[in-house]
Structure 1
Amino acid sequence: MQPENVRQASYRGVEDPQRLYLAMLQDGEHDAREWLSTQLRRTASMADDLPDDPAQLESWAANHAAQVATDHTRYLTRRHQGAPRHYFANRAHALWFLQQVAPTKVVDGAWLHGVLRHWRDFRFHGLIRTFLEELGDGDPRCNHVLIYQRLLSRLGCDQGLPLDPSRYLQGVVQLALGRHAEHFLPEVIGYNLGYEQPPLHLLITTHELAELGIDAHYFQLHVTIDNAACGHARRALQSLRLLMPGQCAKAFYDRVRQGYRLNDLGIDTPSMIVSFDLEDELLAALQRKRPYGQFMHSDRCRLQGRTINQWLADAEAMPGFLRALEAQQWVRRGEAPSHSRFWTLIDGPQAAMFGVFTAYEKQLLHDWIVGDTAAEDCRRVRPGQWERDLALEQDAPVAQGEVCVDRMIERMWGNRHATPNGLRATRDFIHATGLTRAGPN
């Protein structure tokens, strides 16, 4: 992948990726082939760090893994010496990040869906096994999409923020590659090659989420399963070697490199993280709430001469509203939130405004009140402890005929594989094709 500080930002002059993303999830037959061709044309002028000779890919991957390990060691050394977190200033920042990347995370692995139809060809087995492992082999405790969805739900972030359309770009790329794999096979292989090389930001994110008391199992899982020694990163190289044709190898590899560069479309993770502004996000949350609360308050309560209803009736008033809360001591910045009268109105089952704010919105307000002066909650949680409590339902496999296998594949499309029917279809597909995970007898 390109260095993170030179990756390409923003889509321009193309179909709204949010609209296309939702259409593809709702209708698996939605045609995104021309859209994907447009994105590939955008990559033609982009640089990448792949070697010109594919024979050098093994050493390239080894060097990448070594550099990430070195940089991560430096990061840990700085943290042990007292340096602050590199990414997340507070818990609200982390929750914001988890929602910003959700459109990509909840279609995890989708770029490989199209290779399932090649299950009889051993050359595709590495790619298929990678996809099946993204799906947890049909085990709800291990399905990556389901793990992420449940993470958001437990954190109170499952209602979804209004996101910039560009946040959907990588999700559409993955869905489009998965739907049109027959036409874009070299690009699928190249995208997979790039996506499965564990980046530095994944290691840092895993560390800092856990430090903030957020279950980082989803991210830790990708650190381990994508490893370059025997994991998805290694399998990506092997799949390229098996599927690269003897003739026209250069043209094939050129297309692989274009698919690899698709990973660099859109804003990169570190740049997105640094764009977070706590007060801006709090104001945006209040602005979303404002229309629902502007007629719900008694006129007895006033801030700086204005009733709460008057404050909420003014679309431009939210910055002034926060300042007024401070000025009249309803909020005591830099102290524990429990010292603020406004916080006691919204927190706790006996609070007058219980349930008005989501868990994420309350976290924004909490961290805005606390600021940089109060000690942070750095509780650690055991990764994945909740998954062990889930029961794996046992369903009888369906018939193994050709038509039934095709139906199984369709039930594994997009994020459908995270539903009970999709989980069952994944297990039935593995049973029907014999593509089980190798292990001790």
Structure 2
Amino acid sequence: MSIAIRKLDAAQPDFQAQLTAVLAFEAGEDEAIDQAAARILADVKARGDAAVLEYTNRFDRLSAGSVTALEIGRQELQDALAQLSPERRSALQTAAGRVRAYHERQKIECGSNGFSYTEADGTVLGQKVTALDRVGIYVPGGKAAYPSSVLMNAIPAKVAGVQEIIMVVPTPDGIKNPLVLAAAAIAGVDRVFTVGGAQAVGALAYGTASIPQVDKIVGPGNAYVAAAKRRVFGTVGIDMIAGPSEILVICDGTTDPDWIAMDLFSQAEHDELAQSILLCPDAGYIAAVEASIKRQLPLMPRREVIRTSLTDRGALIKVRDMEQACEIANHIAAEHLEISTENPQRWADKIRHAGAMFLGRFSSEALGDYCAGPNHVLPTSRTARFSSPLGVYDFQKRSSMINISEAGAQTLGEVAAELAYGEGLQAHAGSAEYRLHRLQNRLKDGPP
């Protein structure tokens, strides 16, 4: 099987333009998809269960008589877990344990209850941290099943203290994936509905007679799900709008080329729009990786997807040195960054923008997808420049706590009133001045 993955050289004068072309990805919403999602959302908002049932039966080829019939009970989740092979069950529980341990540590580091401090005049200021009441998790269920997504979305929500997790997962033709159900049992998901698509997003966002409204929706989905999440943002919170999966590998030429080729495959096999890029200062090593790609590709079950991904969006880039590799990596701001080098921490210290960093030749990105512990829900399409992996903090909110003492009100009242008069907001000024001892008698007849 032939493959032509583009090769770039950072020394070429037009390199930046070529790199921009490689990175170009227009998430641009398809107008037809966006309008279809809008119609479904409006219908779910207006008709609730009836609309959810109609669309689910149509799109997933089901014949359910009610939305309540689409809910999977907890016993069925436990049964799915019990029916797994011992090896599969152990792997799932090990992964869940590691994800939970990491996010428990994250909760401690974030400060689980907030903080407060008392000023000299007795004023107490602080911050209270509380978990969201109810969260909706969307789990894809069409072409593939992702139990790992259940763990990565549900476990940090539970660690954060979310009271109720509602999971929605489409089951085309009524086929339920037992590993997904088992993962829901392990992760502590409270309720599961076999509903997907824009109608599932609408049901979670607006609530129906059978599916409760949530405060935030997290989890990946197809273009219709993404379009629906964009439209309901503001009614509920959302995690992010994820683009295609990405891997960027920085390598100094000391790792087995076959390992790196397979690491590039690991993202390319997701879909044709996934992106896999290698940065290396050694031209001979790049040639060895390219040869490995050509040799191993025919052995891959998803070779056509990999071939299209690498041909259309992949690149092997020769850089001047490792310092330049880090500069380019910061520009790319990849979802997954592997630093497959000797002394990887040296280069990690130079990285400012990456969703997740995998340090050393034994840290394959695939381990992060399933069981390393840190979350695999990561910013894509260069959004790692300003956003972070999904975590405990995404399922918590913070309330400012302000307890002004009588003495504190004398000082702060003067400041607030002066600024309020400057803004032309006399009621604000009067509210502050009513608390001032020197003006209390004068203001009894009303604010100025």
* TM-score bucket (shorter structure): under 0.3
TM-score, length-scaled by structure 1: 0.24
Give the structure with the larger helix fraction: 1
Structure-2-length-normalised TM-score: 0.24
Structure showing greater relative contact order (alpha-carbon pairs closer than 8 Å, 6 or more residues apart)? 1
